[in-house]
Structure 1
Amino acid sequence: MTREEMDRKIDEHFAFEARDDVEGVLATLAPDVEHDIVGSPGGPTRGREAARAFYEALFADLADGRVTCVKRLYGDRFLVDESVWSGRASGRPFGLEGKDRPLEFRLLHVVEFADGGDVGRENVWIDLAAIIRQLPQA
């Protein structure tokens, strides 16, 4: 895959996330995708339907999300994307009371592409310390 093809696919994925479009996000994933949100209590999942629960919860807990790319690194059929997510904590993101407060945190995606160009593996690292600082619990 070219860098442009990888950019198009991950930008499409992020655009569906920004619209809270679960079906759109899942359509960017390979049928047997490995979906790994590092630190998630359930651990990595396999397959589109297994990833669905994460996105449904995420979209219920975060609102008005926007992802701004800071830097991308490319390899053979993979990319590493450093981004900043900004929006509102409308629910209980990552188990914390959001109280509809503004929220911004860094994300690191390691994305491997399957044959056909869909996301075959998505590994996401979230700056949980920044989230905890912004959503103090009292």
Structure 2
Amino acid sequence: MPLSRTQMDAMMDQHFGFEQADDVEGVLATLTDDAQHDIVGWPTGPTIGPDGARSFYEALFADLSDGRIETIRRLYGEDFLVDESLWRGKAPGRPFGLEGRGRPLEFRLLHVVEYAPDGRMKRENVWIDLAAILQQLPQ
């Protein structure tokens, strides 16, 4: 039986909550063992499963801090969700290879998530507004 919109929202919000808490293990627990994890443009390309996604989240949590996500809109299908959000926080590290120097940062995110019947993500595709990041973190 397909997940309801409410169930998909709860799972996406839980995933974002783990991200905001810099909780690597929590985020990885939201993925299936064979999940496709694809941060478009990330140097490793798509990875498979929680172990494949681990290095991305470890780098992300080292490079960004105090992050908050504001959902702008969500679209739903039978077993998928498209989430447009705005991320706001600070860049103490080197997000996406750029010197953050602790500066404030905000950028849009687009997630396309497919869910397994148990509610975990079997596919997470993420597009990041790199142009906005480049404007805010000039080198």
- Which residue identity is paired with 2:62? A
The offset of 1:25, in angstroms, is 0.4
Are residue 76 (structure 1) and residue 78 (structure 2) matched? yes
Mapped partners of 1:14, 1:90: distance in 2: 20
- Which residue identity is paired with 2:74? R
- Which residue identity is paired with 1:11? D
Residue equivalent to 1:48: 50
Deviations 1:70-100 (A, max 9, x none): 0000001100000000000010000000000
Residue equivalent to 2:7: 5
Mapped partners of 1:122, 1:130: distance in 2: 22
Deviations 1:33-68 (A, max 9, x none): 100000112110001011000000000000000000
- Which residue identity is paired with 1:134? Q
Q: How many residues align?
A: 137
Which of 111, 114, 125 pairs up with 1:112?
114
Unaligned runs of 5+ in 1: none
Mapped partners of 2:115, 2:108: distance in 1: 22
Matches within 5 A, 1:1-138: 1-137=3-139
The offset of 1:115, in angstroms, is 2.5
Mapped partners of 2:109, 2:68: distance in 1: 12
What is the TM-score of this pair, normalised by structure 2? 0.98
Unaligned runs of 5+ in 2: none
The offset of 1:31, in angstroms, is 1.0
The offset of 1:114, in angstroms, is 1.2
Identity score, percent = 68
Mapped partners of 1:82, 1:129: distance in 2: 16
The offset of 1:109, in angstroms, is 0.2
Q: Structure 1 residue runs of 4+, over 4 Å off?
A: none
The alignment yields a C-alpha RMSD, in angstroms, of 0.5
What is the TM-score of this pair, normalised by structure 1? 0.98
